[in-house]
């Protein structure tokens, strides 16, 4: 069973390598991770260092992306901002996958009243647009990194609950689950050891795409003042701060916007590639 599973993941890796767009997305993600890890080394200036004699200077050899109204180096702030965006994206999605996946697995495995109660609650949450739900949670919790991650994560829980429930419903009646029940395995052991590992493919794809959407939502919350407080560098907050200077100093919004666009584009490329690589119809 383990060798078969390894061979299947090996086939997935081979198919993923053949997808150029997926490799581009993987390279962008890898570059962003390195940038976030070594931001202190890469950034030429501290993100909060002010130079009041160099305010609103355009891109130059000294300040590659120019400076803002406080004389802070925009390139350095974007570098450090990658830490915030990736942290929010991965932590928020990890939280929503853990909570939503558990709720979906319980609903799909037990069915009946438990399924009805859990999924009706998820349906109510799904009736609210994800961005509006995140705004409501963020407004209730207040600004801050932890609250931002919770707001983004809570808003995405229903999607993963429905995804995992659908996968569990197609798996719970298969023979290996019945065999585990016949030897006396407990429900939690069956769910976590036998059912959820066989639901990984759709979860991985949705989580990869979900990280991109989480970064976008986090940027949107920061843009309207519900994210991180200054002077913490966050791409959405940088966009918000530069919008009043957009006519005379467009670079203040151009570069943070490009950072968001490239990050989301790379994650979408990777997510689409993973979806194609994990598609059972493509397996030989």
Which strand (E) or helix (H) includes residue 96?
helix 74-110
Cα–Cα distance measured from residue 117 to residue 23, given in angstroms and rounded to the nearest whole number:
42
> What mean pLDDT do residues 71-99 have?
92
- CA pair distance 200, 127, nearest whole angstrom: 26
pLDDT grade, residue 120 (50/70/90)?
very high
DSSP secondary structure letter of residue 278:
T
Over residues 1-23, mean pLDDT: 70
pLDDT average, residue stretch 146-166: 91
Q: Are 28 and 269 in contact (CB under 8 A)?
A: yes
Confidence band for 284, pLDDT divided at 50, 70 and 90: very low
Assess whether the previous peptide bond of 231 is cis (omega < 30° from 0): yes
**Is the whole-model pTM more than 0.75?**
yes
């Amino acid at each position: 069973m383990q060798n078969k599973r390894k061979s299947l993941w090996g086939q997935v890796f081979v198919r993923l390598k053949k997808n150029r767009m997926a490799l581009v997305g993987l390279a962008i993600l890898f570059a962003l991770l390195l940038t976030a890890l070594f931001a202190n080394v890469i950034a030429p200036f501290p993100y909060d260092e002010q130079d009041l004699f160099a305010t609103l200077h355009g891109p130059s050899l000294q300040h590659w992306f120019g400076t803002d109204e406080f004389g802070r180096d925009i390139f350095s702030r974007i570098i450090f901002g990658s830490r915030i965006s990736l942290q929010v994206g991965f932590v928020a999605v990890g939280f929503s996958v853990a909570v939503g996946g558990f709720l979906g697995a319980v609903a799909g495995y037990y069915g009946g009243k438990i399924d009805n109660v859990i999924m009706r609650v998820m349906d109510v949450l799904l009736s609210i647009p994800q961005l509006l739900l995140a705004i409501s949670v963020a407004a209730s919790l207040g600004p801050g990194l932890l609250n931002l991650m919770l707001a983004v994560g809570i808003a995405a829980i229903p999607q993963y609950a429905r995804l995992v429930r659908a996968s569990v419903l197609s798996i719970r009646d298969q023979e290996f689950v019945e065999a585990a029940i016949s030897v006396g395995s407990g429900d939690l052991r069956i769910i976590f050891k036998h059912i959820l590992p066989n639901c990984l493919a759709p979860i991985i794809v949705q989580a990869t795409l979900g990280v991109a959407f989480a970064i976008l939502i986090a940027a949107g919350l920061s843009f309207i003042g519900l994210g991180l407080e200054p002077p913490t560098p966050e791409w959405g907050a940088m966009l918000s701060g530069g919008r009043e200077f957009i006519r005379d100093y467009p670079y203040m919004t151009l570069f943070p916007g490009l950072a968001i666009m490239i990050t989301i584009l790379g994650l979408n490329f990777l997510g689409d590639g993973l979806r194609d690589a994990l598609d059972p119809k493509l397996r030989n």
